[in-house]
Structure 1
C-alpha cells in the first residue's frame, strides 16, 4: 500500500484540527457546561480513528513537536520538515474554525485564566495536561511496539486525556492543551484583547518537551536501551500523579463530571503504561495482584517499591493541586449525612470492585479483556465515584487517600484518616484476591500462562 502524499496528510491534519476547534467553540458558545469536555474529546476521537491512517492524526502542534523531539532523541517520531508543515496546517485550521464558529454564533469568547487565577496557575495546568496528552499519544500510537502489535484503543486513550483535563484543569485555564486551539480562540476574539495564546503556547510546548523526555524514560527499548526497575517505578509514579492531580482539580472546581473525568485519567494512563509496569497506580491493586499469586514477577519487595512510589506520586500531586488552588485543600471522612460505618462499607466494597476487575481483565488468562482492559478498569472509578462519592468521597486508592490527607494537614486536617481509608481499601483488595482465586479456581490449577480449552 502506497504512502499518502504530503498534500493528503496536510489536508487530513487541517480537517481534523478544524473539526476539533469548531467543536470547542460550539460547546462554549452554546453553553454546554456539563458535557462540553466529552463532546470535544469525542470529536478528537472520531477524527483520530477516521484519519489516523492518513496523517497519524496529530491535530495538535504540541503532538507534532513531541514526535519531532522524540525522533531527535533517537526514537520514533517525525522529521522536523513534516513537523513544521503539520504545525502550519493545524494552526491555519484552528484560526479558520474559530472564525467560523464566531460567525455562526455572532459572537466569540476570549482566552484567559479564570477569575482568581494567574498566568502561572493557568500555565501549569496547560503544561501538565498537554504533557499528559502528548505522553499518551506517544505511548499508545508512536511506540515501536505499535508497529507490530496494532491496538484498537489508541483513539479512546488519547481522547480520554481531554476528558481528564477538561473538567478540573479546564476550570482554571479553559483547557486548551493545544496551540492550535489557543491561537484560534485568541485570533477570533482579537477585538476583546490578544496575547494570552502566546503564554499558553509556551507552556504547551514545554509540556510537549517534558512528554518527549518522559517517553524516553519509560520506553528505553525504543531508544536502544534496556528496561529496568527504575523504568517501572517512574511509570507507577507518573500514572498515580496524573490520577491524583485529576482527583484534586475536579473536587476543588466542584465539577459535575468529576468521577468520569477521574476515570478517564485512569483509563488513559492504564492504556499508556500497562505494558511498562502493569499500570497499577494504586497500592490496593498492587496488594490484590500480589495476593492473587498470578504474577510471579511481582515479588513482595517489588510490590513494596511500587506502593512507595505510588504514595509519593499521590502526595506530589496533592501538593500540586494545592499550589494551583493557592492553599485550598479538602479532607477525608464521611460526606454529608453519612457515618464512618457507611464509609467502611463504601470504601471496602468499591475498592473490591476495582481490584477484582483488574484481576479479571488484566491478570487472568481466561477472562482477560485484551483491548478493553483500560476501559473496564477506568469504568470502575466511574461506578464507584458516582455511587459512593456522597458517602466516603470514593477514594478507592491508598495513594489518593494519603495524598489528600497529607495536603490537608496545612489546613488543619487529621492525617490519621488516611490510615483508616487505607485499611478499608486494602481489606477490599485482599477480599478481591480471595474471591478471584475461587472464581478462577480451574485456571489456578494450570501452569502459568495455560488456559483449559
Structure 2
C-alpha cells in the first residue's frame, strides 16, 4: 500500500516570474521618460529662475540638477522593473552595443522615449499657457530649456565645448549604468547610484550645454524652443549617442566584466 502525503506537507513550487510583454515595456519607457522630462524641464522653466531670483525662491542650477537626478531615481524604481529603466535613446544604444540589450527592441524603445518626452513638454506648454501674461512666449523665445551652444548655453560656451561636455558626461553616465547593474554590484541600489551620477554630471554640464545626455529630452524641448533650438538639436542627439557608444563598446575591455550581467529591471527590485 502506497503512503499518502497530505497537501499540507507538500512544499509549494516556486512560480517563475512572467516576463513583461513588449507593450508593457514600451509603456513603461513612455511613462519613465515622461517623468524624467516633466521633472527636469518643468523645474528649469518654473523654478530655476522664479521671479528672476527675487526673494530667493528660485532653485537655480542646483535645483535643476537635483530634479534630474530625482526624476531618474523615481522613474527607475517605479518603471525599471518592467522595462529596464532606460528612458534615454543613448542609454538604449549604449546597452545594446555593450551586449546588455536586444537590438530587436532598440527602435521600439527609442520611439517610446521620444513620445514620452514630447508628451511631457506638450503638457508643460499647456501649463505655461495659463501663466502670467507673456510667460509662455518668454519661455519659448528663450529656447524652452533646450540644450545647445552659444545662445542656448547658459554660460555662452561655444560649439566645441558643448560637444565635448555632452560626449564625456554621457560616456561616464553609461559606464556607471553598466557598472551598477553588474552582478557584482549591490542589489537594489542601481537607481540611486544612477540618479546621483546624473545630478553630479548635470552640475558640470548645465552651465556649458544646459545638460542633455538624452536625445529624447533634447527633441522634446526643441519642439517648442524655436528656430535656434531646432537648428542646434543635432548636437544634443549626436553627442550623447557618441558618448554612449564609446562606453558601451569599451566597458568589457576596460573592466573585464566576464560574469553574467543583469539589467536595471532586476537591479531595481
The TM tier, using the shorter chain, reads 0.7 to 0.9
**8 Å contact 2:88–2:214 — kept in the other structure?**
yes
Alignment correspondent of 2:75: 269
Of 246-255 and 232-241, the range deviating more from structure 2: 246-255
The corresponding residue for 1:360 is 179
1:279 aligns with 2:85: yes
The equivalences for 1:306-325 within 5 A come to 306-325=109-128
For 1:441, the equivalent position in structure 2 comes to 256
Given that 1:315 and 1:407 are in contact with CA atoms closer than 8 Å, whether structure 2 keeps it comes out as no
Q: 1:237 aligns with which of 30, 37, 45?
A: 30
Q: Are the equivalent residues in 1 in contact too, given 2:148–2:229 (CA < 8 A)?
A: no
Distance verdict in 2 for CA 1:365–1:418, change over 3 Å = same
2:220 to 382, 403, 411: 403
Residue 392 of structure 1, aligned match among 200, 209, 224: 209
Q: Distance in 2 between matches of 1:395 and 1:358?
A: 17
Relative to the length of structure 2, the TM-score reads: 0.76
Q: Could you tell me how far apart the structure 2 residues matched to 1:414 and 1:353 are?
A: 25
Partner Cα distance (1:337, 1:292) in 2: 35
Between 1 and 2, higher relative CO (CA 8 Å, sep ≥ 6) is seen in: 2
7, 16, 21: which is aligned to 1:228?
A: 21
Residue 417 of structure 1 deviates from its aligned partner by 1.8
Q: Deviations for 1:165-189, whole angstroms, at most 9, x for unmatched residues? A: xxxxxxxxxxxxxxxxxxxxxxxxx
Counterpart residue number, 1:302 = 105
Aligned length: 218
Look up the match of 1:195: none
RMSD: 2.1
Contact 1:344 1:424 in 2 (8 A): yes
- The 3-state SS of whatever aligns with 2:208 is coil
Q: Is 1:378 matched with 2:184? A: no
Once the 2 structures are TM-superposed, how far is the Cα of residue 303 of structure 1 from its aligned partner? 1.1
In 1: Cα distance, 2:80 partner to 2:27 partner: 13
Helix, strand or coil at the partner of 2:224: helix
Q: Aligned equivalents of 1:352 and 1:325: distance in 2?
A: 34
User: Compared with structure 1, are the counterparts of its residues 449 and 309 closer, same or farther at alpha carbon in structure 2 (3 Å cutoff)?
Assistant: closer
Distance 1:307 1:442 in 2: 26
**Separation in 1, partners of 2:111, 2:84:** 16
Partner deviation per Cα, 1:370-401 (whole Å, 9 max, x = no partner) = 12111110012111111111000111111111
- Structure having the higher Rg: 1
Structure 1 residues 392 and 414: CA distance shift in structure 2, 3 A? closer
Distance 1:243 1:449 in 2: 25
Q: Classify the secondary structure of the residue corresponding to 2:148.
A: coil
The Cα of 1:449 is off from its aligned counterpart by 5.4
Q: List per-residue Cα deviations over 1:194-216 (Å, max 9, x = no partner).
A: xxxxxxxxxxxxxxxxxxxxxxx
* Distance in 2 of aligned mates of 1:312 and 1:426: 18
How many Å apart are 1:435 and its aligned residue? Answer: 2.8
Shift of 1:350: 0.7
Distance in 1 separating the partners of 2:219 and 2:194: 21
Shift of 1:248: 1.5
Runs of 4+ in 1 over 3 A off after TM superposition: none
Shift of residue 442, structure 1, vs aligned partner? 5.1
2:246 counterpart residue number: 431
